[in-house]
C-alpha cells in the first residue's frame, strides 16, 4: 500500500480541533435548523447502537449540509466521525487542511486511485474510528428525496474490516441547504429553523446478514445483494421518520 493511500491519524491536535469546530459549527447550525437526534428519552439507546471501536456509519444523502449534520449528530452520540468527502474539499485552501486534521478521507471519483479511499477508511476503522459514508455516492436525484440504490462500497469495507454498519437516517436536511437558492434559503431559515430528524438503526453484521464465514470470499452478486439489503434497512428508517412507506424499498433507480 503506497503513501498515497495512508490514512493520517488526527492525534491530539485533531481531537481538540474537532471539539472546537463541533461547538462552533453546532452553534451556527442551530441558527438555521433544529437538529433532533431521536427523542431525548431515546438518546442513550441510540448511543448504544453506535458501538465503541471501529464502525461504519451510513446515511441517506439529500443536502450539501448532510456531512455537517451527520457529524454533529454522531458527536452528540459520543463519536467523532471521519467522513469520506470528495477530493475537491481537500484541495480548498484552509478547508483542506482542516479536513485532513479531522481525519476525513478524500474520495477521488473517476481517478485510477479511487479505490485508495476505501483502503484509508479501512485503516481508520482498524484504528478504532467511526467512518461515515453515503452509500448512494451523491445527493439523491429522486424528486421526493427518497434514497437511490446503494453502491457496494460500505459492504465491501465491512467485509474487509469486520466492522459493523450502523444506518443513520436523516430527514429534513434538504430544507436547510438545497441544491438551489442557497443564500435565500439561509435567510428564510433564520426565521423558520427547519427541523432535521435523525434516527439510528441497529448495527448490522454483514457476514451474518450474508450468512458467510470469515474465511469465505463472497461473489460480486452476493455483495450486490447485501448492499441492497443494508440500504433497505436505512430506507426503512427514513420511512419511519417520514411516516410513509418508500416507493422503492431498496432504493430508487439512478436518475442521470
The domain limits of the chain are 34-242
What are 67-102's pLDDT values in tens digits? 999 999 999 999 999 999 888 888 888 999 999 999
Fold of 34-242: Glycerol-3-phosphate (1)-acyltransferase (3.40.1130)
18-63 pLDDT per residue, tens: 999 999 999 999 999 999 998 656 677 777 788 899 999 999 999 9
Residues forming beta bridges with residue 107, ordered by sequence position: 86
Give dist(CA 88, CA 124) in Å, integer.
21
Please check whether residue 100 is in contact with residue 17, taking contact to mean a CB–CB distance below 8 angstroms.
no
The pLDDT value given to residue 2:
42
Global pTM exceeds 0.85: yes
DSSP 3-62: GGGPPPP-HHHHHHHHHHHHHHHHHHHHHH-EEEES-GGGHHHHHHTS-SSSEEEEE---
Number of Cβ within 10 Å of residue 198's Cβ equals 25
Amino acid at each position: 500500500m503506497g503513501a498515497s493511500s495512508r490514512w493520517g491519524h488526527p492525534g491530539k491536535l485533531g481531537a481538540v480541533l474537532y471539539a472546537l469546530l463541533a461547538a462552533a459549527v453546532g452553534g451556527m447550525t442551530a441558527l438555521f435548523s433544529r437538529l433532533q437526534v431521536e427523542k431525548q428519552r431515546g438518546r442513550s439507546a441510540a448511543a448504544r447502537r453506535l458501538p465503541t471501536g471501529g464502525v461504519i456509519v451510513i446515511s441517506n444523502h439529500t443536502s450539501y449540509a448532510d456531512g455537517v449534520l451527520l457529524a454533529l449528530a454522531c458527536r452528540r452520540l459520543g463519536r467523532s466521525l471521519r467522513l469520506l468527502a470528495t477530493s475537491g474539499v481537500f484541495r480548498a485552501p484552509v478547508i483542506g487542511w482542516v479536513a485532513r486534521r479531522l481525519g476525513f478521507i478524500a474520495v477521488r471519483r473517476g481517478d485510477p486511485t479511487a479505490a485508495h479511499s476505501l483502503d484509508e477508511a479501512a485503516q481508520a476503522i482498524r484504528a478504532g474510528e467511526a467512518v461515515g459514508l453515503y452509500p448512494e455516492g451523491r445527493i439523491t436525484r429522486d424528486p421526493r428525496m427518497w434514497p437511490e440504490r446503494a453502491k457496494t462500497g460500505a459492504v465491501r469495507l465491512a467485509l474487509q474490516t469486520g466492522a459493523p454498519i450502523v444506518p443513520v437516517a436523516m430527514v429534513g436536511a434538504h430544507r436547510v441547504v438545497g441544491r438551489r437558492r442557497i443564500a435565500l434559503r439561509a435567510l428564510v431559515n433564520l426565521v423558520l429553523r427547519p427541523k432535521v430528524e435523525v434516527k439510528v438503526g441497529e448495527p448490522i453484521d454483514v457476514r451474518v446478514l450474508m450468512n458467510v464465514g470469515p474465511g469465505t470470499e463472497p461473489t460480486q452478486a452476493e455483495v450486490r445483494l447485501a448492499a441492497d439489503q443494508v440500504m433497505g434497512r436505512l430506507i426503512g428508517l427514513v420511512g419511519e421518520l417520514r411516516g410513509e412507506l418508500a416507493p422503492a424499498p431498496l432504493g430508487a433507480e439512478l436518475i442521470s
